[in-house]
Chains A and B, each alone.
Chain A
């Protein structure tokens, strides 16, 4: 406290002063440089070994220095960044600043009226994101040390991972949209690099390309939205945009609706929502810790962050908000149905992520920015845990299958079964995450998901709700999706961990619990998956038996904490929508529906356990192909095929037309005609060039006479 008092006396900051905020960003960059140099060095060395034709020594490379250093540097820089963030966070808690802290480092661009500063901003929203990114990022880095051990690209992996954290921090800490866009593009790049990490397999390399190209569509929306903001407000800074937005834009006007819809396009691309969600399941081609960090906990939530950050603009555009919520809830439902019939453990989790991101969109779409952001936080905990758990399972399966040279798929849950005997820690922590994602009390997911669903229902019953019927539909869909979530997660757990083992008796002996630096992150995340939801318990629930009769600590904290960021949006909403209702569309209060949903989830869970007969499951190679509706769901509603037909085939035809007709017949031909004409002219002119000196002399004389003639007469 003495520090803070000192600062207040000297008047440097308002209540608190951040400690080295730039260093939080720079540390991962430093890690990237060191690991990058090591990776280049390594590549040079292994290239020399391959040239000498001595491949046995590649095994010796793994134990070399280039392979032990990244394991320290990679997690190390993130760990230090996390500690710095934590210090800042604690200071901020004590300081109670309402104004964001902005640090301007230099002028990035200055032309005419446009001036963009390379500046970072730390406020209540950003610091939570930074805590998640560095905190969970640190755990995942530690996990990676074990998971990626022995991979020939080890330093390259950590270089990319550090670079990702760097760009993600820029994304959330930028103080204006262009800086955010730098991070936005940067994380896309790192996502591409890490999905295609094993670039020697074509299918993985093209999965990276798919992610990158689909994200381009969203980036285009981001840029257009930012340009529109600039032409109307003449600035890019969050502070001035949100301060003047309310007077410049008209509530529900076409301009603000257009801007927010373009922002929505950006968010939909980054956060894998309908119609641009198709890249995320393919992104599972990357290493599993990457899926946990980038494609579950941090990068894919950037869209939600964008909407929460621009909450004022979205609050002023009820149409856009309704579309955000609609896209969210429809994606949540749609992805959950696909997850029901997937067999790849990572694919199930990928569709689950798409589905949960849909919930977050629903939250921010109905104007419950805190609830959406709250689900982002809890989801980061339990989904990272699920992915890391899946990573541990795959690691173990892969090892076992490798030992006995069986060419089965290490990720197919039909090939697992009974893993709880071999990997008890993974088993227990993954069950905790499953209960959390299923929204079962008192795990983290219950509080966040319940608040989103509750807020959707409340908005439907608000005095002047813009589309009460629509919001009621959203509410029902959200409830149904919550039950689907329970089904697919329970199915995954039962098939992977319970019943008889189907991997094979010889392989079963090789299955093992994950090493220490892999299970410790699991346990830490499991703890947060349990208590993470307690930071934001609504008043009604807090006072009832669900909140331990007011005994849950920190209840309602997040809502209060985010108020400086969201209050203006909430204010606009209150003016135009009126008071929200205190009962769900079917009647009943928050506590009743909370209790009902957790009971329903439990019942569904028990029924699913009973329905999934793990002794009836046959392994992947012997399993019969799904039929009927299951086949459609197994093939992901044929959306990829549909897109392939509509967009890719059309594009290919268009390209063919451009090539055969436009390029060859029109452009090439016209160029040929011009060239031919020039050649003919040249031939004509060359006739005068006989090489005869006399002719030249004659022409010369005539020319001179002509000039004389002109001059004299």
Chain B
């Protein structure tokens, strides 16, 4: 069971990472970040079977942080959209300076 679940979580993580790197739509990028987080969660859960309950406890923390992050992140995305009428990340290069 373990190798399979670890391979799955690695696949999901790579998909998430590639999504963040390749896609330009902020919402998609955001979803991909969620994918990465959940891939990590899956790893925690699968390993907790062998290494003790700590991994499962940690998953709850990650979910909490992810929820908070989603709330803040979506709010920012909405306000960006209201301001510029677009969520294409190529239009937002203010991080340069």
Contact = CB atoms under 8 A, between A and B. Distances in A.
Contact of B20 (A689, A690, A694): A694
Contacts of B23: 694
A691 B94 CA distance: 6
A701 interface: yes
B96 interface: yes
B93 A691 contact: yes
A689 B94 CA distance: 11
A693 B89 contact: yes
B17 A701 contact: yes
B22 A690 contact: no
Interface string B20-56: 1111100001000000000000000000000000000
A698 B95 CA distance: 15
Contact of B21 (A689, A690, A691, A698): A698
A172 to B, nearest CB: 70
Contacts of A691: 92-96
B20 A697 contact: yes
A10 interface: no
B21 A692 contact: no
Given A698-B21, A701-B17, A693 B96 contact: no
Nearest to B32: A697
Interface in A673-713: 689-694, 696-698, 701
Interface residues of B, number: 14
A693 B17 contact: no
A692 B90 contact: yes
A692 B20 contact: no
B28 to A, nearest CB: 11
B93 A701 contact: no
B94 A693 contact: no
B90 to A, nearest CB: 7
Nearest to A701: B17
Contacts of A701: 17, 21
A689 B90 CA distance: 14
Contacts of B17: 697, 701
Contacts of B92: 691, 693
A450 B94 CA distance: 95
- Is chain A's binding surface mostly helix, strand, loop or mixed? helix
Contacts of A693: 29, 89, 92, 95
Contacts of A690: 93, 96
Interface in A134-173: none
- Is chain B's binding surface mostly helix, strand, loop or mixed? helix
A694 B24 contact: yes
A229 B22 CA distance: 81
B96 A694 contact: no
Contacts of B95: 691, 693, 696
Contacts of B29: 693-694
A692 B29 CA distance: 13
A305 B39 CA distance: 96
A492 B59 CA distance: 112
A697 B21 contact: yes
A690 B21 CA distance: 14
Contacts of A689: 96
B40 to A, nearest CB: 13
A694 B21 contact: yes
Interface string B58-97: 0000000000000000000000000000000110111110
A66 B24 CA distance: 84
A697 B95 CA distance: 13
A701 to B, nearest CB: 6
Contacts of B20: 694, 697
Contact of B93 (A692, A697, A698): A692
Contacts of B22: 694
A703 to B, nearest CB: 13
A698 B90 CA distance: 15
A372 to B, nearest CB: 78
A345 to B, nearest CB: 76
Interface string A85-122: 00000000000000000000000000000000000000
A535 to B, nearest CB: 87
A306 to B, nearest CB: 68
Nearest to A699: B21
B38 to A, nearest CB: 18
A697 B32 CA distance: 12
A697 B92 CA distance: 15
Interface in A422-463: none
Contacts of B90: 692
Given A701-B17, A701-B21, A694 B93 contact: no
Nearest to B22: A694
B32 to A, nearest CB: 10
A697 B89 CA distance: 12
Interface centre among A692, A693, A701 (most CB of B within 10 A): A693
Contacts of B96: 689-691
A173 to B, nearest CB: 69
A685 to B, nearest CB: 13
A691 B22 CA distance: 15
Interface of A: 689-694, 696-698, 701
18 contacts: A689-B96, A690-B93, A690-B96, A691-B93, A691-B94, A691-B96, A692-B93, A693-B29, A693-B92, A694-B21, A694-B23, A694-B24, A694-B29, A694-B89, A696-B95, A697-B17, A697-B21, A698-B21
Sorted nearest first, the 8 A-B pairs with minimum C-beta distance are A691-B93, A691-B96, A698-B21, A697-B20, A691-B95, A697-B21, A693-B89, A694-B21
Given A690-B96, A693-B89, 12 more contacts: A689-B96, A690-B93, A691-B92, A691-B93, A691-B95, A692-B89, A694-B21, A694-B23, A694-B29, A697-B20, A697-B21, A701-B21
